[in-house]
């Protein structure tokens, strides 16, 4: 019988995933900078694969929001834009809030300690007004909640979209674009609610951190967290990044 010369579908899929991961990592770690053109021949030389898995991987990264493509014109690393930041952070809030609510009752002592350390790192970033570090630490923090939420469908959705949405927040003026002032208190409430095993307060704190309007958890008179009515969050007017 004739021997097929094309690789099996599973092998092609694995190669596509590997290529996507390597390009994604180069974008996330800054090796490939915003706006940088992505040429097939250079990617082939770098990754040592054929054009097909590269084009498939780039298509995936376009859908994820990490790459921009205009047929017959350019393929380039996406450029974060200030006017997209609020929508991106709110979308993350919807996803992460649900993950937090599901995860908190399931957390082991070891994972809880890991989360508390992550929140402390975010608080230190806030004190330093270090937007890029806060972005990275916050994504890592909420990814821990996602990993332990016990919902495989939500985990898949979060893993598909988190990179692209978080990338939209990589702005030099992110401190001015988002509502920075109230974040520290919400991080502290998230930490305490996680330690207390209180999924509702933890979810509300997570959503408040992501600019979602509605009822906010706030310290009650006795010192513990308690919900209070709040007006919708109004972030600073977007300042176009340079």
Going by pLDDT thresholds of 50, 70 and 90, the confidence category of residue 174 is confident
**Sequential DSSP letters for the chain:** -PPP-SPPHHHHHHHHHHHHHHHHHHHHTTSSPTT-B--HHHHHHHHT--HHHHHHHHHHHHHHTSEEEETTTEEEE----GGGHHHHHHHHHHHHHHHHHHHGGG--HHHHHHHHHHHHHHHHHHHHT-HHHHHHHHHHHHHHHHHTSS-HHHHHHHHHHHHHHHHTT--TTHHHHTT-TTHHHHHHHHHHHHHHT-HHHHHHHHHHHTT--S-EEEE-TTSSEEEE--PPP-PPPP----
The confidence score (pLDDT) of residue 220 equals 46
Is this structure's pTM higher than 0.85? no
Task: Evaluate whether residue 184 is within a structural domain.
Answer: yes
The confidence score (pLDDT) of residue 172 equals 76
Domain boundary among 36, 60, 77: 77
Q: Same domain, yes or no, for 90 and 209? A: yes
Q: Same domain, yes or no, for 70 and 94? A: no
> What's the rounded mean pLDDT across residues 172-190?
83
Domain that holds residue 70: 9-77
Going by pLDDT thresholds of 50, 70 and 90, the confidence category of residue 13 is low
The confidence score (pLDDT) of residue 217 equals 47
> What's the rounded mean pLDDT across residues 57-80?
92
Structural domain tally of the chain?
Answer: 2
Q: Same domain, yes or no, for 25 and 95? A: no
CATH, residue 99: 1.20.120.530
Task: Evaluate whether residue 101 is within a structural domain.
Answer: yes
Q: Same domain, yes or no, for 125 and 219? A: yes
The confidence score (pLDDT) of residue 218 equals 52
| Share of residues in the chain with pLDDT > 70 (%) | 81
């Amino acid at each position: 019988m004739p021997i097929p010369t094309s690789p099996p579908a599973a092998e092609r899929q694995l190669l596509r995933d590997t290529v996507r991961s390597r390009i994604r990592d180069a974008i996330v770690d800054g090796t490939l900078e915003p706006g940088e053109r992505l040429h097939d021949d250079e990617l082939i030389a770098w990754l040592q694969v054929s054009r097909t898995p590269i084009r498939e991987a780039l298509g995936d990264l376009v859908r994820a929001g990490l790459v921009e493509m205009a047929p017959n014109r350019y393929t380039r690393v996406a450029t974060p834009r200030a006017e997209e930041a609020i929508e991106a952070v709110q979308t993350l809030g919807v996803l992460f809030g649900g993950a937090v609510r599901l995860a908190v009752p399931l957390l082991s002592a070891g994972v809880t300690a890991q989360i508390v350390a992550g929140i402390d790192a975010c608080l230190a970033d806030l004190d330093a007004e270090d937007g890029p570090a806060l972005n990275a630490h916050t994504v890592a923090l909420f990814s821990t909640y996602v990993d332990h939420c016990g919902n495989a469908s939500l985990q898949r959705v979060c893993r598909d979209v988190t990179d692209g949405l978080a990338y939209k927040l990589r702005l030099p003026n992110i401190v001015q674009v988002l509502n920075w002032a109230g974040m520290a208190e919400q991080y502290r409430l998230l930490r305490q609610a996680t330690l207390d095993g209180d999924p509702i307060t933890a979810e509300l704190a997570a959503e408040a951190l992501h600019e979602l309007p509605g009822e906010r958890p706030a310290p009650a008179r006795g010192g513990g967290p308690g919900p209070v009515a709040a007006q919708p969050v109004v972030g600073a007017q977007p300042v176009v990044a340079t």
